[in-house]
Amino acid sequence: MGYDIHRLVEGRPLILGGVTIPYERGLLGHSDADALAHAITDALLGALALGDIGTHFPDTDPQWAGADSLTLLHQTVALVASRGFEVVNVDASILAERPKLMPYIQSMRERLAAVLRLPCDAVSVKAKTNEGQDAVGRREAIAVHAVV
Amino acid sequence: MGYDIHRLVEGRPLILGGVTIPYERGLLGHSDADALAHAITDALLGALALGDIGTHFPDTDPQWAGADSLTLLHQTVALVASRGFEVVNVDASILAERPKLMPYIQSMRERLAAVLRLPCDAVSVKAKTNEGQDAVGRREAIAVHAVV
Amino acid sequence: MGYDIHRLVEGRPLILGGVTIPYERGLLGHSDADALAHAITDALLGALALGDIGTHFPDTDPQWAGADSLTLLHQTVALVASRGFEVVNVDASILAERPKLMPYIQSMRERLAAVLRLPCDAVSVKAKTNEGQDAVGRREAIAVHAVV
Ligand SMILES: [Mg+2]
Ligand SMILES: [Mg+2]
Ligand SMILES: [Mg+2]
């Protein structure tokens, strides 16, 4: 299982599942702050007990500054394969009050499926609001839960 | 995996897992706002990458205004079956500061098991507080995590 | 699946996965408030639909006052075994803004693996911050998600 959260701030693009989503703010982070890619990466590492995204891709490492998080996910998929395992399916839930993500879900699934080397129908990306509650509900952050 | 949260407000019944629970407030939503049924519905849809509860049962659709969420779950179980899959077990955790849910857990399991077409001992419903933290801890909301 | 959260307060030791971690505050609870052990215990109980940690080890029971939560986990592992099941692997994510947990993760995995009767490489413990958001982000609490 993987979980991630990033703050929504002005002056950053909003990138989820490798897809840039038009919005007045974006997610803050050392890399591109793609919380969906990060949560899936952590879910993969956790399933094989191979550490976590922070140990593999430390946010103190300049190598990952502004990194495309699909690259991190790609490297993790290669690591999983090198251990003789394969991912069978992925299921994620994005928690975001705004913007409406439905128009971008299919693109996210396609981008992720390509990196995960899975058919698109083995990659689930769900989205919902946090009903106005807490940081996500106040539009201050976007969070993601994922399982593989 | 599925997650749901709804606000606790006055003038609404509190319904979880199809069971009406005596309490001074209830969950706000377009349907009956049964967060437990919703989280399980989303977990089922996510396991098969069939979208999410918002795409299947949009809260802008008058058809679902005040809907019994067990009906939504029932339709989702039928969808799963129509794809040739069956649910094996369900595990959910309700996060609620109040009221005490323990007296109602067994009834929830029985209601859900009937809709899921599972024996009761394949349906887990757990409950706990959020230790006073955040919206759930302030008794402003109830949240649910579920896996299938 | 299991989830737990406890408040960080002064005058308590910080214990996670059976490991005491040097920090100015610790987790508040009836037992030793080991949120990692609790989340895994709940995940085990949920997987077999055997209730939850609150029904098995009520926090109103003086027997569990100050209890070592690895004892609770040990009893739960025995219960799982008595039902003819065995745990195959465990994956957990700790959400804590402070302190840095990375130096203690390996010790947690070893302590948990011994109690779970699993090889260490079947026990995943991940850690991350909540990016400054909500109670965990304000350093007022530590939360854990776990799956088995
Ligand atoms: Mg991240
Ligand atoms: Mg809902
Ligand atoms: Mg606890």
**Tell me: the pLDDT tens digits for A101-143?**
999 999 999 999 999 999 999 999 999 999 999 999 999 999 9
Burial of C108 (0-12, 13-18, 19+ CB in 10 A): buried
Q: How far is the CA of B92 from the centre of ligand 3 (A)?
A: 16
CA–CA dist C143, C39 (Å, integer):
9
A45: CB partners within 8 A, 6+ apart:
A2, A51, A52, A53, A56, A76, A79, C124, C126
Residue B61: what pLDDT?
85
Residue C129: what pLDDT?
97
In tens, the pLDDT along C69-125 reads: 999 999 999 999 999 999 999 999 999 999 999 999 999 999 999 999 999 999 999
Residue A41: what pLDDT?
98
Could you say which of B6, B49, B147 has the minimum Cβ distance to residue A122? B49
The stretch A76-80 carries a mean pLDDT of: 97
In the structure, what pLDDT confidence band is assigned to residue A64 with cuts at 50, 70 and 90?
A: confident
Grouped pLDDT means (10 residues each) for chain B, 148 residues:
98 98 97 97 98 92 88 97 95 98 98 98 98 98 98
CB contact under 8 A, C140 and B130: no
Partner C contacted by B107 (CB < 8 A): no
Task: Please give the backbone phi and psi of residue A38, each rounded to the nearest 5 degrees, phi first.
Answer: -65, -45
CA–CA dist A58, A64 (Å, integer):
8
Element holding B123 (H helix, E strand): strand B123-128
C55: CB partners within 8 A, 6+ apart:
B102
Residue C108: what pLDDT?
98
Residue B59: what pLDDT?
83
Partner B contacted by A100 (CB < 8 A): no
Question: Chain B residues with CB inside 8 Å of A109's CB?
Answer: 49
CA dihedral (B44, A135, A144, A126) in degrees, to 10, reads: 40
CA–CA dist C75, A8 (Å, integer):
43
Amino acid letter at B50? L
Residue C109: what pLDDT?
98
Ligand 3 is an ion; its neighbours by CB within 5 Å are C 4, 38
Could you say which of C28, C42, C140 has the minimum Cβ distance to residue B126? C42
Partner A contacted by B53 (CB < 8 A): yes
ipTM score over 0.95, yes or no: yes
CA dihedral (A125, A131, A135, A138) in degrees, to 10, reads: 120
CA–CA dist B104, B116 (Å, integer):
18
Q: How far is the CA of B61 from the centre of ligand 2 (A)?
A: 14
Partner A contacted by C138 (CB < 8 A): no
CA–CA dist A16, A3 (Å, integer):
14
Supply the pTM of this predicted model.
0.97
Average pLDDT over chain A reads 96
Residue C64: what pLDDT?
83
Residue-wise DSSP of chain C: -EEEEEEEEETS-EEETTEEE--SEEE-SSS---HHHHHHHHHHHHHTT---HHHHS-TT-GGGTT--HHHHHHHHHHHHHHTT-----EEEEEE-SSS--HHHHHHHHHHHHHHHT--GGGEEEEEE--TT-HHHHTTSEEEEEEE-
Question: Chain B residues with CB inside 8 Å of A146's CB?
Answer: 1
The stretch A79-99 carries a mean pLDDT of: 96
Partner C contacted by B137 (CB < 8 A): yes
Element holding B40 (H helix, E strand): helix B35-47
In the structure, what pLDDT confidence band is assigned to residue C67 with cuts at 50, 70 and 90?
A: confident
